[in-house]
Structure 1
Amino acid sequence: MVVRIDGSVGEGGGQILRTSLALAALLAREVEIINIRRGRKVPGLQPQHLTAVRAIRDITRGRTLGDELGSELLIFMPGKCEGGIYEFDVSKIRASAGSVSLIFQAVLPALLFAPRPTHLVLKGGTHVPFSPPTTYVEKVFLPLLQRMGGRANLKTIRWGWYPQGGGIVEADIEPVERLSAIELTQREELVKIEGLAVVSQLPLSIAERLCRRLLQRLSRYELVAEVELVQAPATGRGTGLFVFARYGDVVAGFSALGEVGKRAEEVADDVYRALMAHHRSGRVVDKHAADQLLLYMALAEGRSTITVSEITRHLLTNVWVIEQFLPVKFEVEGDVGKPGMVSVEGVGFRPGATSLGAV
């Protein structure tokens, strides 16, 4: 039976597409997605989304209809995912800084349950607006997934900033038989705050200003941080501040990117505010990691529960998509924009299990 997904539901963004592709590939279910990215200023498939579509098509040896720039309708008929060696480059569709993190997000679930290991090379934007930086995926998301039994690593070889792109990341994914439930409800004490103040083809003094401002703001609350100044290899210019707060053995991540006309101090202030909002919430998982964990919680064996610093529309939309594919029911406590808790009884997915679809 075909799963039909309306891409205009909820926040109407690309996450609906990525989660639908991931679950369709995993369950070997044909999916039809309409109104793709209807909630965005420029709707339809853009280069990063189209790269993700073709990547998931290729790794499953599947077929697609409607896979073209600007398309708001896509039909995906997956085959079987075997793992292997793959390279995907956003610029092959059109020169852009399309996010490689979001492409990785789309293909990872199927590759985790493939029968053999996978080596991925992804080319495009690594540190760009409206997507998790690859450093966040590496330092925050993948360690959380590892707690559930997922085995994957990712390394940024060359940074790709907006608008030039040109970044390169490599990832290795090991097959798993199942995922274990996760419980992250009680936050431990703050152990350490670390950060990267990064510039590419810009004066190092910008990174120094990012660092200095962050340390000044944190000192008001007697907090300290270890911030490394980094001159990152890249094809174009860019700058950003990436901060990681470790509570016990769980890491939360916060970042902001520089842009023309925005002072380094403003960038640091954005990161500081995000960090302190999470810190004051008393919750374990930051709002971005929560959204990314949902699919794996639903696939895991047993009940998973996490407390999150902010319930977002993005999270609620992703819950809706997952419930269209799997016989699960998420319990979400808390209002949008406020701290909350998310729990779900997972289906205990195993490779080859294709009879779990909810529709």
Structure 2
Amino acid sequence: MHSALTNTSLHPLTLDGSTGEGGGQILRTGLALAMVTGRPLHITRIRAGRPKPGLMRQHLACVQAAVAVCGGQAEGAELGSQTLLFTPGAVRAGDYRFQIATAGSCLLVLQTVLPALMLADGESRVQLSGGTHNPMAPPFDFLERAFAPLVRRLGVGLDLQLQRRGFYPAGGGELLAHITPAALPLTPVDVLERGPLQDAWGEALVPGLARNIATRELDALGQRMGWTFESGRLRQPPTRQNEGPGNALIATLEYEHITEVFCQLGERGLSAEQVAKRLVDEVRDYQRSAGALGPHLADQWMLPLALAVWRSGRAARYTCTEVTQHTATNAQTIARGLPVRVQITPVDKAMLVEISPLLQAGLYRL
């Protein structure tokens, strides 16, 4: 696989929501790009690749959050809409509170507004309520341990505090994000190697459910990974008040240069042993590759790094285990919205992502 993506759009950012994997990521990345560049966003065929296309409640929450953060305007911001015209205003640092209906993911709303707030003119605090451990979305633990440390390496302060977990379908989770923009221009960083493994552990979350579910999951995980309770590598964190019901099995691998987090959610009809097997398969896939970032982190990291490349004029690179269709679609969207080139090439037992600036000064605000 080899692709080089460049930005050729000059005025409004026009996106086709059916491109590539055709999901909500195109909308979220598009909103973020519009806010940081000041370009209006016109997106059609929103989530055309999904069984229920158009804006669902959590996608509408992302639009509403973007409007609040920059004082923008949105036409077509209603449930089921497949067309949106978003006109951003000036991004404003401040204190924000966003409530996502039902168990919609808090983290996807944060993903939408974080790029703008990390380039704002002051600190921001964002209180989010909704889901923290959702299917098809990064869990809180992933953002706290894997994503946030990378963002901090750009010079941005990002502190995440979990106040209460919220599982699908009930929701009820609460988290706080404290965002401090970099004092100097964002500093791109290369992340090419993991470095030596320094620690690894698994934990089972079972608020509102029978404790033996956690015991079975951890036993199965420990047998496959060689982890034990005695070594501290198998853990069951305490439940916070009013959490659950829900179940998540999480593996954390701490390397010298990167921390990766993998998560499998329990679901009705899936045994504890099957949940553990799915998690181990995911970890083993990562361990077999030489890429520094796993598939989800490779996707999440691309936009913050591209912003640093754009603002600094310096190229940056990272390796990852694979480039999913989701990540490839995100790369295409970013290259349409920023004056950067995203190049993806296979290397030994990994993929190399290179983001470099284009010399198109004067086309963008900020």
Q: TM-score, normalised by structure 2?
A: 0.90
* Corresponding position of 2:335: 323
Q: Is the 8 A contact 2:194 2:257 kept in 1?
A: no
- 1:35 corresponds to which of 27, 35, 45: 45
- 1:45 corresponds to which of 55, 62, 75: 55
Q: In structure 2, do the counterparts of structure 1 residues 237 and 269 end up closer, same or farther at CA, with 3 Å as the change threshold? A: same
Superposition CA RMSD, Å:
2.0
CA distance in 2, matches of 1:50, 1:260: 28
- What SS does structure 2 have at the residue aligned with 1:255? strand
* Corresponding position of 1:159: 165
- What SS does structure 2 have at the residue aligned with 1:12? coil
Q: Is the 8 A contact 2:341 2:358 kept in 1?
A: no
* Corresponding position of 1:89: 99
* Shift, 1:354, TM fit: 7.4
Instruction: Confirm whether residue 186 of structure 1 aligns to residue 198 of structure 2.
Output: no
Q: How does 1:72-151 map to 2 (within 5 A)?
A: 72-91=82-101, 96-151=102-157
Instruction: Confirm whether residue 309 of structure 1 aligns to residue 317 of structure 2.
Output: no
Instruction: Confirm whether residue 5 of structure 1 aligns to residue 15 of structure 2.
Output: yes
Q: Is the 8 A contact 2:43 2:85 kept in 1?
A: yes
* Corresponding position of 1:211: 218
CA distance in 2, matches of 1:242, 1:345: 34
* Shift, 1:194, TM fit: 2.1
CA distance in 1, matches of 2:116, 2:322: 28
* Corresponding position of 2:265: 257
CA distance in 2, matches of 1:121, 1:354: 35
* Corresponding position of 1:345: 356
Listed one character per residue, the Cα deviations across residues 44-93 of structure 1 (whole Å, up to 9, x for unaligned) are 111111001000101101111000011100110111111111111112xx
- What SS does structure 2 have at the residue aligned with 1:184? coil
Paired AA for residue 328 in structure 2: L
Listed one character per residue, the Cα deviations across residues 296-333 of structure 1 (whole Å, up to 9, x for unaligned) are 22121312111101111011100110111112111101
Paired AA for residue 344 in structure 1: I
Listed one character per residue, the Cα deviations across residues 161-180 of structure 1 (whole Å, up to 9, x for unaligned) are 01111111111001224221
How many residue pairs are counted as aligned between the two chains?
345
CA distance in 2, matches of 1:194, 1:247: 12
CA distance in 2, matches of 1:127, 1:347: 38
CA distance in 2, matches of 1:305, 1:50: 33
- What SS does structure 2 have at the residue aligned with 1:183? coil
Paired AA for residue 318 in structure 1: N
* Shift, 1:196, TM fit: 2.2
Instruction: Confirm whether residue 292 of structure 1 aligns to residue 300 of structure 2.
Output: yes
* Corresponding position of 2:7: none
Listed one character per residue, the Cα deviations across residues 260-308 of structure 1 (whole Å, up to 9, x for unaligned) are 1111111111111111110110211111111111112212131211110
- 1:18 corresponds to which of 12, 28, 33: 28
CA distance in 1, matches of 2:90, 2:185: 18
Deviates more, 1:191-200 or 1:165-174: 191-200
CA distance in 2, matches of 1:70, 1:268: 36
* Corresponding position of 1:334: 346
Paired AA for residue 237 in structure 2: V
CA distance in 2, matches of 1:97, 1:254: 20
* Shift, 1:187, TM fit: 2.7
CA distance in 2, matches of 1:235, 1:68: 30
* Shift, 1:346, TM fit: 4.2
CA distance in 1, matches of 2:164, 2:61: 19
CA distance in 1, matches of 2:62, 2:363: 25
Q: In structure 2, do the counterparts of structure 1 residues 105 and 199 end up closer, same or farther at CA, with 3 Å as the change threshold? A: same
- 1:199 corresponds to which of 201, 206, 213: 206
Q: Is the 8 A contact 1:120 1:171 kept in 2?
A: yes
Paired AA for residue 133 in structure 1: P
- What SS does structure 1 have at the residue aligned with 2:341? coil
Q: In structure 2, do the counterparts of structure 1 residues 225 and 311 end up closer, same or farther at CA, with 3 Å as the change threshold? A: farther
Paired AA for residue 148 in structure 2: L
Deviates more, 1:101-110 or 1:287-296: 287-296
Paired AA for residue 304 in structure 1: A
CA distance in 1, matches of 2:342, 2:39: 21
